[in-house]
A and B are shown apart, each in its own frame.
Chain A
Amino acid sequence: MTTADHKPQIFAFLARYFGEHRLAEDEDMFATGFVNSLFVMQLVLFVEGEFDITVEDEDLEIRNFNTVRAVDALVTRKLAVGAADRRP
């Protein structure tokens, strides 16, 4: 199981949306007022492309996407499941 910290990549992606705002890793992104209606789509595309995972219907929960820490945890879980599936 991978325990790598994916937060630096996530913060780097989010920087363009939050400008000078110093986003904390447990801060609710959707409550900040910095993101628009395209943001969820862009975030899903980002995590799928950056970490080579697929966001499924059952992953679509606000608690999986609302903070950097939550996105990091989702990525870690998905990568662990993928690694387990690939294990002989």
Chain B
Amino acid sequence: MAIRVQLSPRQAEAREEYESFAREAVAPSANGWDRAERLPEEFLKDFADRGYLASAVPPEYGGAGLDAITFGLLNEELGRGCSSVRSLVTVHGMACQAVARWGTASQRADWLPKLASGEAIGAFALTEPGAGSDVKALATTARRVGDGFRLDGAKRWITFGRRADVYLLFARLDGLETAFLVPRDAPGLEVRPITGVLGTRASMLAELDLADCRVAGDALLARPGFGLSAVAAGALELGRYSVAWGCVGLSQACLDASLDHADRRETFGVRLRDHQLVQRMIADMATGTAAARLLCQQAGWLRQARSTESLYATWLAKYHSSVTAFRSASDAVQVHGAHGCGGDYPVQRYLRDAKVMEIIEGSTELQQTTIAESAYHARPRATAPTSPTGEVTA
């Protein structure tokens, strides 16, 4: 895989804008949003007005149509400030991507301008009480009634489900995995907030109950049978990419906080930064973050080139970034000592948020098994077996 690391001038300029926004308008409020378990409406309006909700919408529908690297940079900087805000870009972007990629002309014209402007916020409703990583266990059903559909089932852990106006929702239609666009006001849909979660607490999780929920015929997105393999897979691909970059920002935030604290705090007559065991933690954070960023950039360039290798590269990036974020956050709390466990410092939030990153958009274990399997696919066939010493044996 080719690796490029240099940002274009436009990308570098965008990164500066995102960094400035996250530093001034996101990070200072993130602990408060975490405690309140919600993002305020005034913030969401400002966020939409700045065009950040338009990032995954094509320009012809009022979107920003960001290139893959610039979209990644937005996620990195938001992830550095608040993982819940980054989660909004993730799930909203997944809904936008699915409509733009698989929607009919009418669905694109109806939904994309609203999603781009923030008039409508989108969410991704796949997970169910009995179907998480095992998406094939999808049990929500759909049936044709007249010109429309009736949906029955339950969805759980739906990020921004409390706030969303439209759900990219998956159900079985005649047994086939199928995607639907379900408006928030669909009769028979009940939205219940989920509170008290471990991390990304301001991401306004909800569970959805669908009891004879009625949607129109144009709620069907793409062909029945391709709901998971094309629509959900494509959306989750974007989601993994977004989370991977967000984890780079989260790791960077852990490093930033640790550098500051270790520079100020003294123990045993010297600054923390002079203790070699603290230096080990800081070195690991710095190295892990840099490596994660490179993997994300590699995935980004491959996405931009529409390479088939982009999928594998994104799995590598998400796996490494999320594991690095959790280790960085754990070390950042350690560097802060008791302060790190309290609510005045952000590192305890980073730790809780980082654990969530190892579960969403493909758990660490799913990443590991998929990457291992793909590594066999990528292995050159002509390679002769080698002995443990590296000598060719056949």
* Interface hits, B226-282 → A, CB 8 Å: 226, 228-230, 233-234, 237
| A38 and B102 contact, Cβ closer than 8 Å, known pairs A16-B378, A49-B307 | no
Beta-carbon contact of A40 and B230 below 8 Å: yes
Given contacts A42-B308, A42-B311, contact A57 B229 (CB under 8 A): no
Residues of A within 8 A of B229 (CB): 37, 40-41
Contact A41 B233 (CB under 8 A): yes
Q: Which of B102, B226, B237, B308 has the most C-beta atoms of chain A within 10 angstroms of its own C-beta?
A: B308
Q: Assuming A16-B377, A38-B370, A41-B233, is B308 touching A60 (CB within 8 A)? A: no
B 307-319 to A, binary, CB cutoff 8 A, 1 in contact else 0? 1101100000000
- Determine the distance from Cα of A56 to Cα of B307 in the docked complex, in whole angstroms: 18
Query: Complex formed: what's the CA distance from A49 to B234 in Å?
Result: 16
A65 to chain B, nearest CB (A): 9
Residues of A within 8 A of B370 (CB): 36, 38
Query: What band does the interface of chain B fall in when counting residues whose beta carbon is under 8 Å from A?
Result: 20 to 34
B64 contacts the other chain (CB 8 A)? no
* Chain B residue with Cβ nearest A54: B101
Chain B neighbourhood of A15, CB < 8 A: 381
- The answer, yes or no, to whether B360 is at the interface (CB within 8 Å) is no
> Are A40 and B223 in touch, CB under 8 angstroms?
no
Q: How far is the CB of A23 from chain B (nearest CB, A)?
A: 14
| Most chain B CB inside 10 Å of its own CB: which residue of A15, A19, A42, A62 | A42
Q: Are A60 and B222 in contact (CB under 8 A)?
A: yes
Is B222 touching A38 in the complex (CB atoms < 8 A)?
no
Would you call B222 and A57 a contact (CB within 8 A)? yes
Q: Which of B73-104 contact A (CB under 8 A)?
A: 102-104
Contact among A19, A41, A46, A48 for B230, CB-based, below 8 A: A41
Q: A38-B370, A40-B233, A41-B311 are in contact. Are A57 and B102 (CB under 8 A)?
A: yes
If the complex has contacts A19-B381, A57-B223, A61-B223, are A45 and B233 also in contact, measured as CB distance less than 8 A? no
- How distant is A41 from chain B, measured CB to nearest CB, in Å? 5
A45 touches B307 (CB 8 A): yes
Determine whether the beta carbon of B237 is less than 8 Å from that of A41.
Answer: yes
Kindly state whether residue B147 has any CB partner on chain A within 8 Å. Answer: no
**Do residues B233 and A62 form an inter-chain contact, with CB atoms below 8 A?**
no
Which A-chain residue is minimally distant from B366 (CB atoms)? A37
Q: Mark B356-394, 1 if CB is under 8 A from A, else 0.
A: 000000000000001001100110010000000000000
The reply on B225 being an interface residue by CB < 8 A is yes
A36 with B311, Cβ < 8 A, contacts A41-B230, A41-B233 known: no
In angstroms, how far is the closest chain A Cβ from the Cβ of B231?
9
For A49, the closest partner residue in chain B by CB is B306
Indicate which residue in B103, B228, B230 contacts A44 across the interface (CB closer than 8 Å): B230
Give A50's nearest chain B residue, CB to CB. Answer: B308
B285-313 contact mask (Cβ, 8 Å, vs A): 1 or 0: 00000000000000000000111101100
Q: Which of A30-77 contact B (CB under 8 A)?
A: 36-38, 40-42, 44-46, 48-49, 57-58, 60-62
Q: Which of B228, B237, B377 has the most CB of A within 10 A?
A: B377
Residues of B within 8 A of A42 (CB): 308, 311
Residues of B within 8 A of A46 (CB): 308
Minimal Cβ-Cβ distance residue in B for A44: B230
From known contacts A42-B308, A42-B311, A57-B102, infer whether A37 and B233 are also in contact, taking CB-CB under 8 Å.
Answer: yes
CB neighbors of A among B202-219 (8 A): none
Q: Are B373 and A48 interface neighbours, CB within 8 A?
A: no
A45 B102 Cβ-Cβ under 8 A: no
State the 5 A-B residue pairs at the shortest beta-carbon distance, nearest first.
A40-B229, A60-B223, A60-B226, A45-B308, A16-B377
22 A–B contacts from the bound complex (CB under 8 Å): A15-B381, A16-B377, A19-B381, A37-B135, A37-B228, A38-B233, A38-B374, A40-B229, A41-B230, A41-B233, A41-B311, A42-B308, A42-B311, A46-B308, A49-B306, A57-B102, A57-B103, A57-B222, A57-B223, A58-B223, A60-B102, A61-B223
Task: Identify 5 new A-B residue pairs, CB closer than 8 A, beyond the known A49-B306, A57-B103.
Answer: A15-B381, A16-B377, A16-B378, A36-B373, A40-B226
